Amino acid sequence: NTSIMLFTRDLRLHDNPALAAACAGGDVVPLFVVDRGILAGPMAVPNRLRFLADALADLQASLRGRGADLIVRAGDPAEEAGRLAHETGATSLHLADDRSRYALRRLAALRDLPLDVTVHPGATVVPSGDLRPTGGDHYKVFTPYWRAWAAAPRRGVLRTPRTISLPGGLYPGEMPDLERPGVSPGLAKGGETEARRLMKAWLSHGVDSYDDTRDVLADDKGTSRLSAHLRFGCLSPLELAVAASAYEPYTRQLAWRDFHHQVAAAFPDLARRDYRPRGKGWRSDDDALKAWEEGRTGVPIVDAGMRQLRHEGFMHNRARMITASYLTRDLGLDWRHGYRCFRYWLADGDLANNPGNWQWVAGTGNDTRPNRTMNPLRQADRHDPDGAYVHRWLPELAGLPGKAAHRPWGTLDEPADYPPPLTLPNGA
């Protein structure tokens, strides 16, 4: 019996239920289709394409190490899977669960093929839809979700298949050229090997002090930096959650990830429409938006975050909250502009956590305190007490030591090459 394993956002061999099921059946066609539809859309951006290229190269090497190969095709996934089924006589196809609108259309097209199609868990710790509150189809509030999530049974972590047997005579295909100009110079490397190296280092030192370090803006090692690996499935979220199960502050964050996934699955318009209707409209100001995007608002803690984003394709969570709050609460601009900017730059940018968190900050989301406002300066004093984060990203403020770097306005040392604030932040 031959099965097709269609890799999508699960670019790994470890704890991959779809792959394990395909291998149990006999010969396997490990397939990745460079989807022309995705390549033409807004999700295909330089940083994520580079991360994807790293992940595919790593997957190819791992499959070769197990006697198989990555079969690469370009075009429409259902058409290519159909062609390969015809060529190899495959009778079944396995893939990971994905609830985006696009993924559901892809699944419908796959189900039209003369193949037995099975969808497997693996994108989240607890599959979206498994936990439902009484009388609802998804959890709208995190705390009860977290309680249910923590108590939910876990499936076992799966072993990596030792050998994978390919049907004979298959043309592996060409690795696509996914290089686009404009990749962030400090972008992290993608791929399962790198993800596992980071995970092991994090579990041996890092996770145990997470509660103390997670909000220190200048501490690059204070958080796990695994988000982009989880985004592309280079790492199994379940394996990570099981390994880190003794560290509740950290597993709670993994539950937030699952939470937004189940909201997005139930509310597919999450990236387009306010989850909770908002009364007053947003302001329109293209110059302010551009200054925010480019890290030139004149508010150092905001600009430092935006410059980290552009330089690394990553931004510290605390800085994401501060920059998002400044855009929506202080500048009064629509969160969807911010969401699109993050979508362009973030290696971990996705259709659940990105809009879900933006809606949460903007007060249009499903949290219980939609009117919370953040005070960017108090945040800066607390989470960057010696100004190290601001100094790293804004060298023009080097002359203002310590906390003074957070308030360059009207001081004698006010740097000439730093703009005045668009608007003073809340609480200034």
Q: Which residues are annotated as a binding site for FAD?
A: 210, 223-227, 250, 348-350
Binding segment for ligand FAD (CB under 6 A), chosen from 28-36, 110-118, 151-159, 227-235, is 227-235
The reply to whether 230 sits near ligand FAD by the rule CB under 6 A is yes
Question: Cα–Cα distance between 11 and 317 in angstroms, integer?
Answer: 24
In the list 209, 253, 375, 423, the residue contacting ligand FAD (rule: CB under 6 A) is 253
Query: What SS3 string covers the chain?
Result: CEEEEECCCCCCCCCCHHHHHHHHCCEEEEEEEEEHHHHCCCCCCHHHHHHHHHHHHHHHHHHHHCCCCCEEEEECHHHHHHHHHHHHCCCEEEEECCCCHHHHHHHHHHHCCCCEEEEECCCCCCCCCCCCCCCCCCCCCHHHHHHHHHHCCCCCCCCCCCCCCCCCCCCCCCCCCCCCCCCCCCCCCCCHHHHHHHHHHHHHCCHHHHHHHCCCCCCCCCCCCCHHHHHCCCCCHHHHHHHCCCCHHHHHHHHHHHHHHHHHHHCCCCCCCCCCCCCCCCECCHHHHHHHHHCCCCCHHHHHHHHHHHHHCCCCHHHHHHHHHHHHHHCCECHHHHHHHHHHHCCCCCCCHHHHHHHHHHCCCCCCCCCCCCCHHHHHHHHCCCCHHHHHHCHHHCCCCHHHHHCCCCCCCCCCCCCCCCCCCCCC
Phi (first) and psi of residue 124, to 5 degrees = -135, 170
* Site for ligand FAD, residues 310 to 339, rule: CB under 6 A: 317, 320-321, 324
The reply to whether 213 sits near ligand FAD by the rule CB under 6 A is no
For ligand FAD, give the closer residue by CB, 346 or 390. Answer: 346
For ligand FAD, give the closer residue by CB, 43 or 404. Answer: 43
* Site for ligand FAD, residues 102 to 161, rule: CB under 6 A: none
CB of 354 to ligand FAD, least distance (A): 3
* Site for ligand FAD, residues 347 to 376, rule: CB under 6 A: 348-350, 353-354, 357-358, 361
For ligand FAD, give the closer residue by CB, 4 or 362. Answer: 362
For ligand FAD, give the closer residue by CB, 69 or 312. Answer: 312
For ligand FAD, give the closer residue by CB, 8 or 357. Answer: 357
The reply to whether 214 sits near ligand FAD by the rule CB under 6 A is yes
Binding segment for ligand FAD (CB under 6 A), chosen from 32-40, 74-82, 251-259, 383-391, is 251-259
For ligand FAD, give the closer residue by CB, 2 or 227. Answer: 227
The reply to whether 257 sits near ligand FAD by the rule CB under 6 A is yes
The reply to whether 199 sits near ligand FAD by the rule CB under 6 A is no
Binding segment for ligand FAD (CB under 6 A), chosen from 47-55, 181-189, 221-229, 302-310, is 221-229
Question: Cα–Cα distance between 398 and 325 in angstroms, integer?
Answer: 25
For ligand FAD, give the closer residue by CB, 170 or 201. Answer: 201
For ligand FAD, give the closer residue by CB, 186 or 401. Answer: 186
Binding segment for ligand FAD (CB under 6 A), chosen from 6-14, 163-171, 217-225, 409-417, is 217-225
The reply to whether 234 sits near ligand FAD by the rule CB under 6 A is no
**What pairing do the DSSP bridges indicate for beta strands 92-96 and 71-75?**
unpaired
CB of 214 to ligand FAD, least distance (A): 5
Q: Are 316 and 217 spatial neighbours (Cβ–Cβ below 8 Å)?
A: yes
CB of 26 to ligand FAD, least distance (A): 35
Residues binding ligand FAD: what is the number (CB under 6 A)? 27
Residues at the interface with ligand FAD (CB under 6 A): 214, 223-227, 230-231, 253-254, 256-257, 260, 317, 320-321, 324, 342, 346, 348-350, 353-354, 357-358, 361
